[in-house]
Amino acid sequence: MNKVYSKIESITGSVITVKAEGIRYGDLAEVDTVFGTSLAEVNRLNGDLVSLQVFAGGRGISTGDTVRFLGRQMQVPFSDNLMGRVFSGSGTPRDNGPALHDNPIPIGGPSVNPANRIIPRNMIRTGIPMIDLFNTLVVSQKLPIFSVSGEPYNDLLARIAMQAEVDVIVLGGMGLKYDDYLFFKDTLEEGGALSRTVMFVHTASDPTVECLMIPDMSLAVAEQFALQGKDVLVLLTDMTNFADAMKEISIIQEQVPSNRGYPGDLYSQLASRYEKAVDFESAGSITILGVTTMPGDDVTHPVPDNTGYITEGQYYLKNGRIEPFGSLSRLKQQVNGKTRADHRALMDGMIKLYSAYRDTLEKKAMGFIMTPWDAKLLKYGELFEKKMMDLTVNIPLEGALDLGWEILSDCFSPEETGLRTELITKFWPKKD
């Protein structure tokens, strides 16, 4: 019933151009080639010339292949049958399960009106002191893990997913190594979480265009679950691969490149995905944890830089630990005023002292004589790293706070901590 076009005017990379009329921006088409059928999306109109991105890539496409416009935009089927399943960036099953067609929903829809949002108010307990005590994760937060290649960021992501109390996990994998894909699948399965997980996975060897669909598909599905009242945790790894896929395609399409070759709308593109994080007043929520690998550990690289200004904080992963400096949960003050009276003061006080410890380490490395104060700081820093920064620790927040006072009292006298007298009176451990 839809008109079929059998003359492809030009092929550049994964972009093909046909002459057609009445086509709408963003419409989908199917391209039939000898290698099978692939979806394609309209991404430029110029008179009667229609440019499409072919999901399966441009390789092997012939000018004689046919293009059939579907008259609709990209969709993803939504139902409870998604649970435990794995799909590709074009929505086809990656596992051995059946293809799903029921209840298609559009992807890439608008975000929630800020006037309708509620102030984030609930903490997500993870049992990791560097998160719970120092950079509390909050329901509806969007937070990236800034990391260098080689760091165990996917391990951390999986660990948070397993320990965090949520109803549904949606994992969006972009440019994943096949091993990493299997790692997630196995870990979630072993932890018994696979049955509440939906995975959209693009692996490094899949066509680039499919990578672009992963966040939108993941978030559209997450949104539906959230509207049903579920608390959803969306894990996106790795957003730098997503941005690189955008770069690749925009350059092929001869767009004027902006900073370091990325498209000029990188910020808008990232934002429209991250802004899907939300806590619905009378329904569920979406919390987004993403991985952003920083090429060359450079936080000024356009991807982490733009990300940092969109997200509500970030966790820096360095040497297998969440760094106290630079790591930040912007929403933590929404929840840590209600946990325990000492939470905020202890959080700042311990980091201030840890910062002084780092200065002392520098002095020590340069061979200066250590003063008694330096000695105290050195003892403190070591205890802090050993007891607080270890990511394998799993203790409740209250335990971590008590541990904090324990460490302080092992190293300092009360007035050396810079904490107010009233807190010290109440929380300083009484030693026999």
Partner 1 sequence: MIGTKGTVEAVNGNMVSVRFDGPVSMNEVGFVKVADKQLKSEVIRIRGDISQLQVFEVTKGIAVGDTVEYTGDMLSVEVGPGLLGQVYDGLQNPLPKLTAVAGMFLERGIYLDPLPSDVAWEFTPVAKVGDTVERADTLGTVPEAAFTHRIMVPFGLYGTYTVVSIKGPGSYKLRDTIAELKDEKGNTVPVSLSFRWPVKRPIDCFVERFKPTEPMVTRVRLIDTFFPVARGGTYCIPGPFGAGKTVLQQITSQNADVDIVILAACGERAGEVVETLKEFPELKDPKTGHSLMERTIIICNTSSMPVASREASVYTGVTLAEYYRQMGLNVLLLADSTSRWAQAMREMSGRLEEIPGEEAFPAYLESTIASFYERAGTVRLRDGNVGSVTIGGTVSPAGGNFEEPVTQATLKVVGAFHGLSRERSDARKFPAIHPLDSWSKYKGIINAEKVSYAHGFMRRGSEVEQMMKVVGEEGTSIEDYVIYLKGELIDSVYFQQNSFDAVDAAVSPERQKHSFALLLKIMATLFSFPDKNEARSWFNRLRQKFLDYNGSEWQNDKFKALEKEIESTVAEQSKGLDKAAEKILAL
Q: Which of residues 219-278 bind partner 1 (CB under 8 A)?
A: 255-259, 263-265, 267-268, 271-272, 274-275, 277-278
Regarding beta strands 197-203 and 321-322, do their DSSP bridges make them parallel or antiparallel, or are they unpaired? unpaired
The residue (of 193 and 356) whose beta carbon lies closer to partner 1 is 356
The residue (of 35 and 373) whose beta carbon lies closer to partner 1 is 373
Instruction: Provide CB contacts within 8 A for 62, sequence distance 6+.
Output: 8, 33, 34
22 binds partner 1 (CB under 8 A): yes
88 binds partner 1 (CB under 8 A): no
Nearest residue to 231 via CA among 185, 291, 169, 154:
169
The residue (of 152 and 257) whose beta carbon lies closer to partner 1 is 257
Q: How far is the CB of 42 from partner 1 (least distance, A)?
A: 9
136 binds partner 1 (CB under 8 A): no
The residue (of 62 and 268) whose beta carbon lies closer to partner 1 is 268
Q: Segment contacting partner 1 (CB under 8 A): 103-111, 181-189, 202-210, 390-398?
A: 103-111
Question: Residue 134 is encoded by which pair of tokens?
Answer: 């120092």
Phi, psi of 264 (to 5 degrees): -60, -25
Among 88, 334, 397, 408, the residue binding partner 1 under the rule CB under 8 A is 334
- Asked if 279 and 117 touch (Cβ cutoff 8 Å), the reply is yes
Q: Segment contacting partner 1 (CB under 8 A): 171-179, 231-239, 370-378, 392-400?
A: 370-378
Q: How far apart are CA 269 and CA 43, in angstroms?
A: 14
The residue (of 189 and 362) whose beta carbon lies closer to partner 1 is 362
Residues 350-369 that bind partner 1 (CB under 8 A): 351-352, 355-356, 362-363, 366, 368-369
Q: How far apart are CA 429 and CA 406, in angstroms?
A: 7
| Residue-by-residue DSSP string for 274-307 | HTT-EE-TTS-EEEEEEEEE-GGG-TTSHHHHHH
Among 318, 330, 340, 379, the residue binding partner 1 under the rule CB under 8 A is 330
Q: How far is the CB of 327 from partner 1 (least distance, A)?
A: 9
Q: How far apart are CA 415 and CA 360, in angstroms?
A: 19
Phi, psi of 30 (to 5 degrees): -110, 135
114 binds partner 1 (CB under 8 A): yes
Binding mask 2-21 for partner 1 (x = CB under 8 A): -------------------x
Counting Cα atoms < 13 Å in the Cβ hemisphere of 190 gives: 8
Among 165, 179, 186, 348, the residue binding partner 1 under the rule CB under 8 A is 348
Peptide bond into 279 cis (omega under 30): no
Secondary element (H or E) of residue 74: none
**Residue 170, SS3?**
strand
Q: How far is the CB of 62 from partner 1 (least distance, A)?
A: 26
Q: How far is the CB of 25 from partner 1 (least distance, A)?
A: 5
The residue (of 22 and 229) whose beta carbon lies closer to partner 1 is 22
Residues 163-222 that bind partner 1 (CB under 8 A): none
Binding mask 46-65 for partner 1 (x = CB under 8 A): xxx-----------------
Residues 389-408 that bind partner 1 (CB under 8 A): none
Q: How far is the CB of 115 from partner 1 (least distance, A)?
A: 4
93 binds partner 1 (CB under 8 A): no
Distance of CA 410 to the CA centre of its chain: 38
385 binds partner 1 (CB under 8 A): no
Residues 285-314 that bind partner 1 (CB under 8 A): 298-300, 302, 305, 308-314
- Asked if 382 and 360 touch (Cβ cutoff 8 Å), the reply is no
By CB under 8 A, how many residues form the interface with partner 1?
86
Q: Among all chains, which residue has been given the structure tokens 């008694």?
A: 372
Question: Residue 246 is encoded by which pair of tokens?
Answer: 């955008």
Q: How far is the CB of 101 from partner 1 (least distance, A)?
A: 22
**Torsion angle of the four alpha carbons 405, 409, 411, 416, in this order, in degrees rounded to the nearest 10:** 90
Q: How far apart are CA 164 and CA 363, in angstroms?
A: 40
Among 119, 319, 425, 432, the residue binding partner 1 under the rule CB under 8 A is 119
418 binds partner 1 (CB under 8 A): yes
Q: How far is the CB of 375 from partner 1 (least distance, A)?
A: 11
- Asked if 70 and 3 touch (Cβ cutoff 8 Å), the reply is no
